[in-house]
């Protein structure tokens, strides 16, 4: 079975790979480049679910099982922003540092107890010729936003996102630790259960 990861974010691909590769040795995980997909997929939805499905369906339209993650950070004091706009919060797609600085600026007057947030991941899987209904699974992880970076690992908002049960930011966790509790891990656990219902021999 061939599965294509519908993302150009190397960090996300690495995390998704860690969840999908153990499902079954017969699964071959391909990238957009591997199938000759040129350019980016336009994410013009207004929810994580819509955007994840847009990406997964773009791959399914090329004849492959497509798996996509759409994810972001929802800060309570900002009514859920940056949300689906997390990657382009500061205007430039993928400029993690600028995004983090803008977030800190926008919540600088918010007291510590109100700096709560959730990371959200929606995993969507679409099948060629609509052979099966698409799978859409949401996972979340609660945390708080610090005042300054802690940790050097990860990507995106990881160094500002503090997860109290581990007393660490995402950026201070080893990949295996983050993959136990992250929003993506929670969405992936639901996705794998749904995928195995469709393919019980895996």
Query: CB within 8 A of 161, min separation 6: which ones?
Result: 73, 117, 119, 143, 144, 145, 146, 169, 170, 171
Query: Which is nearer to ligand IMP, 80 or 132 (by Cβ)?
Result: 80
CB of 28 to ligand IMP, least distance (A): 23
**Ordered DSSP codes for the chain:** -EEEE----HHHHHHHHHHHTTT-TTPEEE-TTTTT--SPPP---SSHHHHHHHHHHHHHTTTSEEEEEEEEEEEGGGTT-BGGGGGGTTSSTT-HHHHHHHHHHHTTTS-GGG-EEEEEEEEEEE-GGG-SPPEEEEEEEEEEE-SS---S-SSTTGGGEEEGGGTEEGGGS-HHHHHHHSHHHHHHHHHHHHHHHHSTT-
CB of 99 to ligand IMP, least distance (A): 6
Q: Counting contacts by CB under 6 A, is residue 140 touching ligand IMP? A: no
Query: Residue count at the site for ligand IMP (CB under 6 A)?
Result: 18
Q: Counting contacts by CB under 6 A, is residue 70 touching ligand IMP? A: yes
CB of 120 to ligand IMP, least distance (A): 8
Q: Counting contacts by CB under 6 A, is residue 199 touching ligand IMP? A: no
* Number of residue whose CB is nearest ligand IMP: 156
Q: Counting contacts by CB under 6 A, is residue 157 touching ligand IMP? A: yes
What is the C-alpha separation between 37 and 14, in angstroms, rounded?
19
Query: Which is nearer to ligand IMP, 66 or 156 (by Cβ)?
Result: 156
Interface pattern 98-117 for ligand IMP (x via CB under 6 A): -x------------------
Q: Counting contacts by CB under 6 A, is residue 19 touching ligand IMP? A: no
Q: Counting contacts by CB under 6 A, is residue 72 touching ligand IMP? A: yes
Respond yes or no: is residue 96 known to be catalytic: no
103 within 8 A of 160, measured Cβ to Cβ:
yes
Q: Counting contacts by CB under 6 A, is residue 144 touching ligand IMP? A: no
Of 24, 44, 70, 167, which residue is the catalytic one?
70
Instruction: Enumerate binding residues for ligand IMP (CB under 6 A).
Output: 9, 43, 70-73, 86-87, 99, 119, 154-158, 170, 182, 184
- Residues with catalytic roles: 70
């Amino acid at each position: 079975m061939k599965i294509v990861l519908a993302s150009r974010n190397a960090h996300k691909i690495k995390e998704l790979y860690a969840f999908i590769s153990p499902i079954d040795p017969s699964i071959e995980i391909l990238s957009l480049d591997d199938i000759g997909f040129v350019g980016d997929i336009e994410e013009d939805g207004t929810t994580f679910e819509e955007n994840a499905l847009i990406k997964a369906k773009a791959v399914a339209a090329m004849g492959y099982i497509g798996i996509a993650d759409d994810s972001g950070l929802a800060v309570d004091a900002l009514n859920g922003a940056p949300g689906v706009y997390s990657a382009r919060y500061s205007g430039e797609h993928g400029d993690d540092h600028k995004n983090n600085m803008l977030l800190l600026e926008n919540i600088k007057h918010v007291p510590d107890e109100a700096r709560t947030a959730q990371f959200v991941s929606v995993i969507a899987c679409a099948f060629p010729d609509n052979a099966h209904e698409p799978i859409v699974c949401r996972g979340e992880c609660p945390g708080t936003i610090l005042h300054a970076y802690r940790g050097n690992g990860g990507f995106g908002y990881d160094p500002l996102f503090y997860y109290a049960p581990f007393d660490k930011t995402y950026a201070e966790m080893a990949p295996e630790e983050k993959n136990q509790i992250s929003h993506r891990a929670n969405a992936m656990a639901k996705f794998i259960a749904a995928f195995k219902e469709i393919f019980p021999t895996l």
